[in-house]
């Protein structure tokens, strides 16, 4: 299965209607994916050969059947080890927007905002691996309740990963993600707020006022922490939402433009075409085949 479109380092992860997950299986992968990021959490389990990951401040390797976790919004490069033949692996991309309904999600997000490898000797490895295998088996099954079962397995999976990451941080005496400054967490929270409210008339002024800082300082710190500008993030959120509506087929292009926060339909079409190199109508037609 082909990976998603990447524009300016941002990977647009599109999910099937009413689904929050995207699963890839690579039989023999030789490709290294250059530095990029996405809002989805990424969980990869190499099956036959080691799989490497490089972030801004970390490089790590997951051996066969170990589990590589990459948190939401983390800049990373992944692929087979240099000079080695690639092997088969599963990769699960998981949307996190639906998790905001849970009170503990913000804490969980803080715990998992990094790159981490779940080793075979770790306490929860066997349970995490079993959750992944269950998701893999359910993903293409005909079970009418599979979406509910996958969501249930994922909630257990991500909770166990958070516990392992918290334990590793405590044992290594390294500062955990929860120890980051409150201001950094406020900026990260604002990025999720933008995703949830992207259809509204959001501006630098309104976001700066929400955090009690000037729009100029907010713009600079947002780009520094989130690695893209406020406007690029808002656009990517709106385009993700547009893709969801276009797949659902319940609305016209004009209606979708307004549902995604665009006052001008032509502006919406222009932006969509600039990113996807096709019109919304062409995108919708292609999804039908």
Cα distance between residue 23 and residue 15, in whole Å: 10
87 falls in which pLDDT band (50, 70, 90)? confident
The CATH number of the domain covering residues in 6-172: 2.60.120.280
CB contact at 8 A, 146 and 98: no
39 falls in which pLDDT band (50, 70, 90)? confident
Structure tokens at 95: 């949307």
Q: With a cut of 60, say whether residue 3 has pLDDT above it.
A: no
In CATH terms, the fold of domain 182-287 is: Arc Repressor Mutant, subunit A (1.10.10)
For 13-35, what is each residue's pLDDT tens digit? Answer: 665 544 688 888 887 766 778 88
Confidence (pLDDT) at 204: 92
The whole-angstrom distance between residue 70's C-alpha and the CA centroid of its chain comes to 9
Task: Pick left, alpha or beta for residue 239 (phi over 0 → left; psi -120 to 50 → alpha; otherwise beta).
Answer: alpha
Confidence (pLDDT) at 44: 93
Percent of the chain whose predicted confidence (pLDDT) is above 70: 86
For 170-228, what is each residue's pLDDT tens digit? Answer: 766 444 444 445 677 778 788 888 988 999 999 999 898 888 888 888 888 888 877 78
Cα distance between residue 120 and residue 268, in whole Å: 48
State phi, psi for 246 to the nearest 5 degrees. -65, -35
For 143-179, what is each residue's pLDDT tens digit? Answer: 889 889 999 999 999 999 989 988 887 766 444 444 4
Q: With a cut of 50, say whether residue 261 has pLDDT above it.
A: yes
Between residues 159 and 9, the one the model is more confident about: 159
Confidence (pLDDT) at 113: 75
238 falls in which pLDDT band (50, 70, 90)? very high
Query: Could you give the residue range(s) of every CATH 2.60.120.280 domain in the chain?
Result: 6-172
Going across the sheet that includes 89-94, the strands are 21-26, 89-94, 41-46, 67-70, 115-118
279 falls in which pLDDT band (50, 70, 90)? very high
Q: With a cut of 90, say whether residue 68 has pLDDT above it.
A: yes
Cα distance between residue 240 and residue 262, in whole Å: 14
Between residues 50 and 5, the one the model is more confident about: 50
Confidence (pLDDT) at 177: 46
Confidence (pLDDT) at 16: 56
Confidence (pLDDT) at 235: 92
Q: To which residue do tokens 């008339």 refer?
A: 201
In the predicted model, what is the mean pLDDT of residues 72-96?
A: 83
Confidence (pLDDT) at 182: 61
Confidence (pLDDT) at 180: 47
Query: If DSSP states are collapsed to H, E and C, what string results for the chain?
Result: CCCCCEECCEECCCCCCCCCEEEEEECCCCCCEEEEECCCEEEEEECCCCEEEECCCCEEEECCCCEEEECCCCCEEEEECCCCCCCCEEEEEECCHHHHHCCCHHHHHHHCCCEEEECCCCCCHHHHHHHHHHHHHHHCCCCCCHHHHHHHHHHHHHHHHHHHHHHHHHHHCCCCHHHCCHHHHHHHHHHHHHHHCCCCCCCHHHHHHHHCCCHHHHHHHHHHHHCCCHHHHHHHHHHHHHHHHHHHCCCCHHHHHHHCCCCCHHHHHHHHHHHHCCCHHHHHHHHCC
Confidence (pLDDT) at 175: 45
For 91-139, what is each residue's pLDDT tens digit? Answer: 999 887 777 777 677 677 777 778 889 999 999 999 999 999 999 999 8
Cα distance between residue 111 and residue 98, in whole Å: 18
Confidence (pLDDT) at 264: 92
Average per-residue pLDDT in the chain? 83
Confidence (pLDDT) at 4: 61
Going across the sheet that includes 51-54, the strands are 33-36, 76-80, 51-54, 59-62
Query: Could you give the residue range(s) of every CATH 1.10.10.60 domain in the chain?
Result: 182-287
């Amino acid at each position: 299965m082909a990976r998603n479109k990447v524009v300016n380092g941002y990977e647009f992860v599109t999910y099937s209607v009413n689904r929050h997950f995207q699963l890839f299986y690579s039989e023999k992968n030789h490709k290294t994916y250059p530095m990029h990021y996405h809002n989805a959490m990424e969980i990869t389990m190499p099956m036959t050969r080691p799989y490497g990951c490089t972030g801004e401040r970390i490089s790590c390797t997951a051996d066969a059947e170990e589990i590589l976790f990459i948190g939401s919004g983390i800049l990373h490069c992944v692929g087979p080890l240099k000079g080695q033949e690639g092997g088969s692996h599963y990769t699960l991309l998981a949307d996190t927007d639906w998790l905001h309904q849970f009170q503990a999600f913000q804490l969980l997000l803080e715990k998992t905002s990094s790159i981490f490898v779940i080793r075979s000797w770790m306490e929860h490895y066997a349970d995490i691996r079993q959750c992944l295998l269950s998701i893999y088996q359910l993903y293409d099954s005909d079970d009418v309740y599979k979406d509910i079962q996958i969501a249930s397995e994922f909630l257990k999976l991500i909770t166990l990963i958070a516990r392992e990451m918290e334990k590793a941080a405590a044992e290594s005496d390294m500062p955990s993600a929860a120890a980051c400054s409150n201001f950094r967490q406020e900026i990260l929270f604002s990025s999720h707020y933008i995703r949830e409210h992207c259809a509204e008339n959001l501006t630098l002024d309104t976001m700066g006022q929400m955090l009690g800082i000037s729009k100029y300082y907010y713009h600079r710190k947002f780009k520094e922490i989130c690695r893209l500008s406020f406007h690029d993030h808002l656009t990517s959120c709106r385009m993700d939402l547009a893709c969801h509506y276009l797949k659902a087929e319940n609305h016209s292009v004009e209606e979708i433009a307004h549902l995604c926060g665009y006052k001008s339909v032509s502006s919406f079409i222009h932006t969509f075409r600039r990113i996807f190199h096709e019109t919304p109508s062409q995108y919708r037609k292609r999804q039908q085949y």
